[in-house]
Chain A
Amino acid sequence: MYKTIFSLALKNALLRKTRALLLIFMIASSMSFMLSLEGLYNGMTKNMIDMTLRSDTGEVSIYAKDYRLKQEIKYAIKEAQSIKDQLQHHPSITSVITRLKVSGLGASATKSYPVDLIGINLIEEESFGEFSAFVKEGNLDLGKNGCIVGKQLAKDLKLRLNAKLVFSTQDSSNTLQSKLLRVKAIVHTTNINIDNKAIFIPKKVLSEFIGVDPALATQIAIRTQDKDLQEELRLRYRKLEVLNLSEINPMLAQMKEMMVVFNAISFSIVMGVVFIGILGVMYVSILERIREFGIMLAVGYSYTNIQIQVIFEAVFLALLGFLLGSIFSLASLYYLSHYGLDLSEFSDGLQSFGMSSIIYGDIQPEYFLRTFYAIIFASVLSVFLPLRTIKKLNPVDVIKADS
C-alpha cells in the first residue's frame, strides 16, 4: 500500500516539471545564500578571535591583581618565570609565553602618540601564535635597537621601515627614560589593541630599559584546548587573575554572541521564505488536484493516505532542493574559505572594528545538518494548511460537480 502511496506522490511531485524545478531552485538558492552568509559571518568572527588569541591573549592569560586596572609595572607578576616553567610541563598546555608591557609616549619626527611598549620573545611568540605571519613590511631581525610597530600606529606616526622612533616612559624608580628605536617591521594583526598602539621589542631589552628583573612579566599567555584549565589555574594561582578571552575582551565575546543572533535571524528569514515557497507550490498543487483527491476518497483511499502522500511529495521536493542547495553551498563556501571575500575598499572601516579586509568563509557540517532539519520541518509544516482543505472535502461534491 505504501509503495502505491509513494509512487503516487512521486508522480504528482514531478508532474508539473517547471513548477517543481522552480521550487527546487528556490530552496537551493535560498539555502546556499544563507549558508554562504553564515559561513562568512562565522569565518569573520573566528578570524577575529583567532587573531586575538594568537597576537595577545591566548585561550587563558594570567595577570597580577590590579594590573589590568592600573596598568603599572609595579603590578607585574614577580614570579612569572617560575610560573612559566611550571606551566610548560602541563600536559594540556601547548604553548606558554611571558610578556612585559609598559605604557608611554611614542614620538616620530613629526608626531607623538600614547603607545604600549611590549617586551616579547620572538622565538616563543612564533610557536605561540605564528608572529611572523602578522608581518606586513620588513623582517624580524631586530638588531640592537630594532622594534616592530603596529600597522595603524605606523600610519598615525608616519613611520616607515628604518624610521626612528623615540619611546619615553617612567622606569621602576619613577625616573623618566627615553629610548631611541628603529622600525624594522610593521605588523597587522586585526587586533586593534596591537595595531593601534603596540611597539614590540625583545623582552630582555625592555627589562634592562626600565630597570626591572628579567623574570618579571605583566602577562603570562597560554594556548590550550582544555576548557577546564582556567578553573584549575584559578585554584592554583589564587593571588593572580586567571582570565579567558571573553573576560579579557568582552567586546569580542559580545560580537560572537551577536553573530549567533544575526545568523539565527537570517536563518529564520530564509527558512520563512522557503516555507512560504513550499506552501504556495503545495497549495496550488493540491487545489488543482481536489477532484483527484475526491475520487480517491470516494473509492476508499483514506485521509491518512492522502496526508502521507502530500507530506511525502513536499518532503521529496524539499530534499531535492536541499541536495542541490548543498552542492551550491559547498561550492560557494569552498570558494570563500579558500579565496575569501575581498572587501579592501572598506578596509579602513573594517580595521576600526578589528576585522580583516579579506573575509574567509568557514565550513561546518552542522550548517548542513541544521538546514536539513529546518527544510524538512518547513516542508512538513507547509502542507498542513492545504491538508485542511482536503480534510473538509466531501467526495460526493467532487462527483456531483463532474456529473
Chain B
Amino acid sequence: MIQLKHVNKYFFKGQSREVHALRDISLQIQQGEFVALSGSSGCGKTTLLNAMGVLDNIDSGEIYLNNKEISHLDAKEKTNIRLYEVGFVFQAYNLIPVLSVKENISFIMKMQNIDQQQIQNRVQELAKILQIEDKLELLPSRLSGGQQQRVAVARAVATKPKIILADEPTANLDSKNSKALMDMMRELNQKENITIVFASHDEMVVNAVDKVIRLDDGKLV
C-alpha cells in the first residue's frame, strides 16, 4: 500500500544550520491497516505524514503508493494524488470557512465531478455516521472543535480514498470527543477498509491503533 525506502528530509534554518528531520526511513503499511506514527514532539511524525501525502517534498529516498513512486511527481500529479488517493485530517481541522458543513463534506467529491445525487447520498450517510446531521447547513465557525473535526473526517473519507492521513486529530479535543473520534475512525477503517495513519503523541490514539511506528529524532525506533 505505502512503502518508504531510505527517505531523508532536511530543514534549513538560516544559511548553514540544517535539521535532519527524517533519517533513512524505510517502512511499509498495508491496505486496511490502522496505524499510528508516534514519538515525542519534534521527532518527525508530521513531516513523515506530510511526505506520505505528497504535501511535502523529500530530499532523498522513494515513496510508493500502490507500487507507484509518488515523491518525484510534478505539482499537478501530486495534486491529483491528494485529490483522488489520499484523505487528510488536520490538527486544526482546516475546513473552508466560507462553505457550509454540507459544502465542506462534498467539496472534494465535487472536485472529482461525482454525480450530484451520489454526493447528496454520501453526505447524508456520513452525517449520520458522524452525528452531524443537524449541522449540515451551518458554517464551520458555528461548530465546536469536536464537531469541526468530525466534519474534517467526513470530508476526508467522503470519496473513499485508499488512505487517510490524520495529523494529531485529537490534539484540540477533550477526552470524550477524542474517544468518539477514534471510535468513528475505527468504524470507517473497518466498514470501508480504508488505511488510516495517525501522527500523534496522544496515548489514547496510540492505544487504539493496531500498529505503532515509533520515531525518535527523525529515526525509526
C-alpha spacing A260/B97, complex, angstroms: 49
Name B residues whose Cβ lies closer than 8 Å to a Cβ of A: 46, 50, 55-56, 75-76, 79-80, 82-84, 88, 90-92, 94-99, 103, 107-108, 110-113, 155, 167-168, 171
User: By DSSP majority rule, is chain A's interface helix, strand, loop, or mixed?
Assistant: helix
Q: Is residue A284 within 8 Å, beta carbon to beta carbon, of the partner chain? A: no
C-alpha spacing A302/B76, complex, angstroms: 7
Q: Are B98 and A299 closer than 8 Å at their CB atoms?
A: no
Residue numbers in A under 8 Å from B82 (CB-CB): 298-300
Could you tell me the distance in whole angstroms from the C-beta of B202 to the nearest C-beta in chain A? 14
C-alpha spacing A402/B95, complex, angstroms: 12
If A299-B155, A300-B80 touch, does A399 touch B55 (CB 8 Å cutoff)? yes
Q: Are A396 and B94 closer than 8 Å at their CB atoms?
A: no
Give the nearest-CB partner of A391 in chain B: B75
C-alpha spacing A305/B96, complex, angstroms: 15
Which of the segments A8-16, A86-94, A138-146 contacts the partner chain? A8-16
C-alpha spacing A295/B168, complex, angstroms: 16
Q: Number of A residues whose C-beta is below 8 Å from B?
A: 26
Residue numbers in A under 8 Å from B108 (CB-CB): 299-300
Could you tell me the distance in whole angstroms from the C-beta of A293 to the nearest C-beta in chain B? 10
A223-262 with Cβ < 8 A to chain B: none
Residue numbers in A under 8 Å from B94 (CB-CB): 295, 298, 399, 402
Most chain A CB within a 10 A radius of its CB, from B95, B96, B113 = B96
Residue numbers in A under 8 Å from B88 (CB-CB): 298-299
If A298-B94, A403-B90 touch, does A4 touch B56 (CB 8 Å cutoff)? no
If A1-B110, A8-B98, A402-B91 touch, does A299 touch B83 (CB 8 Å cutoff)? yes
A270-324 with Cβ < 8 A to chain B: 292, 295-303, 305
C-alpha spacing A402/B168, complex, angstroms: 12
Q: Are B113 and A402 closer than 8 Å at their CB atoms?
A: no
Q: Are A402 and B84 closer than 8 Å at their CB atoms?
A: no
Q: Are B98 and A301 closer than 8 Å at their CB atoms?
A: no
Pick the residue among B56, B107, B168 that contacts A299 (CB under 8 A).
B107
Q: Are A403 and B168 closer than 8 Å at their CB atoms?
A: yes
Could you tell me the distance in whole angstroms from the C-beta of A351 to the nearest C-beta in chain B? 60
Q: Are A15 and B79 closer than 8 Å at their CB atoms?
A: no
Give the nearest-CB partner of A295 in chain B: B94
Residue numbers in A under 8 Å from B111 (CB-CB): 1, 4, 300-301, 305
Residue numbers in A under 8 Å from B90 (CB-CB): 295, 298, 399, 402-403
Give the nearest-CB partner of A7 in chain B: B103
A1-37 with Cβ < 8 A to chain B: 1, 3-4, 7-8, 11-12, 15
